[in-house]
């Protein structure tokens, strides 16, 4: 009797070691959109709908009463609003608030400085898609940047034009508009102005100065941004809610901190679970994203998520 029970226990124990841990998948009923923005796993809205807490998003009600924005919950700023997520490229686009200050009769009448913190999220600022820009007739600003592992930098830009005749549309070489590259892998920035340079001497034609991290290709300098501040505000509003001065910034993202080679050794936590999926290392050397193999389309983070093969003229992956 005891021998029989011991044999049964032994086989049950052996079976428990031989069965792999289940791969987590989101339950049915998870939201797939927040307004017009599509939300795709490993991201999710609500309990158990994302791969992990860092991929969990919050659908917020905007000022006009619609649900068109998704905020990043781990961000230290309430003003970073997600516009879109690219699964195949491992990128996302957010709205960020522009830092600004204005003068009337040599007196500072209003101003604001912005901060975005992506610590404890899978995101970092794309150094290939974004630039730090400063606009103004006499405006100097700095961006304090931090990456993982306590890496930090400070970059600055000085924009000067002492007459309206010196303003040039489309030019951002230091005269009324200055831009500079940002370092690789940054997850935090804080913008401040050097108020020893300011537009208090040029209020007759350019009362305001601006500083921002911005998606480079989506911005073209216009002289009316300085001579007619409402023109800048109008263009900024195209990206966001009422009365906000915002433009878009591109983020890169990744799953985990391991390379593909290391991640594949732990199948329980490996993210590329679909057949016909492939793992792609991120350029940081930390983390990876999943894509469907050429000829297949769908979501590589879901079991059987990559469908195909595609025929010529079918959907792109």
Domains of the chain: 97-235 (2.60.120), 260-307 (no CATH)
HSE-CB at 17 with a 13 A cutoff on CA atoms is 5
| Helices and strands: H and E segment counts in the chain | 4, 22
CB burial of residue 225 (10 Å; 0-12, 13-18, 19+): buried
pTM higher than the cut 0.75:
yes
DSSP code for 296: -
Give the tens place of pLDDT for each residue, 260-283: 999 999 988 999 999 999 999 998
Mean pLDDT over 164-172 rounds to 86
Q: Which residue has the higher pLDDT, 203 or 160?
A: 160
Residue 183: which pLDDT band, with cuts at 50, 70 and 90? very high
pLDDT tens digits, one per residue of 190-212: 999 998 887 777 888 888 889 99
Contact criterion met (CB below 8 Å) for 158 and 117: no
Q: Which residue has the tokens 């100065």?
A: 209
Query: Does the structure show a pLDDT above 70 at 79?
Result: no
Listed in sequence order, the residues at least 6 apart from 306 whose beta carbon sits closer than 8 Å to its beta carbon are 274, 275, 276, 277, 292, 293, 296, 297, 298, 299, 300
Burial (CB < 10 A; 0-12, 13-18, 19+), residue 195, is middle
List alpha helices for the chain, DSSP H.
2-18, 224-227, 229-237, 260-263
> Euclidean distance between the first and final Cα of the chain, in Å?
60
């Amino acid at each position: 009797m005891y021998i029989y029970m011991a044999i049964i226990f032994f086989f049950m124990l052996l079976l428990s070691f031989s069965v792999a841990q289940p791969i987590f998948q989101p339950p049915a009923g998870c939201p797939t959109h927040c307004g017009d923005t599509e939300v795709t796993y490993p991201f999710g809205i609500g309990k158990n709908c994302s791969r992990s807490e860092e991929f969990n998003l919050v659908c917020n009600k905007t000022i006009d009463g619609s649900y068109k924005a998704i905020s990043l919950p781990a961000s230290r700023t309430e003003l970073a609003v997600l516009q879109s997520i690219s699964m195949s490229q491992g990128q996302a686009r957010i709205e960020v608030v522009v830092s600004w200050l204005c003068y009337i009769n040599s007196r500072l009448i209003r101003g604001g400085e912005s901060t975005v913190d992506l610590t404890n999220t899978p995101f970092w600022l794309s150094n290939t898609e974004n630039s730090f820009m400063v606009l103004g007739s006499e405006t100097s600003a700095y961006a304090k940047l931090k990456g993982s592992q306590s890496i930090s930098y400070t970059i600055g830009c000085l924009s000067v034009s002492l007459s309206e005749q010196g303003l040039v549309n489309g030019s951002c070489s230091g005269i009324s508009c200055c831009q500079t590259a940002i370092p690789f892998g940054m997850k935090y920035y804080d913008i401040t102005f050097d108020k020893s340079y300011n537009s208090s001497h040029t209020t007759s034609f350019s009362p305001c100065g601006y500083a921002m991290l911005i998606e480079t290709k989506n911005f073209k300098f216009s002289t009316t941004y300085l001579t007619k501040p409402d023109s800048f505000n109008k263009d900024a509003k195209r990206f966001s809610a009422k009365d906000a001065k915002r433009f878009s910034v591109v983020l890169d993202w990744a799953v985990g901190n391991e390379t593909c080679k290391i991640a594949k050794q732990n199948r329980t936590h490996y993210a590329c679970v679909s057949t016909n999926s492939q793992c792609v290392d991120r350029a940081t050397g930390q983390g990876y994203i999943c894509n469907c193999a050429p000829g297949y389309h769908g979501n590589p983070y879901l079991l059987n998520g990559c469908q195909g093969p595609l025929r010529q003229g079918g959907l792109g992956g």
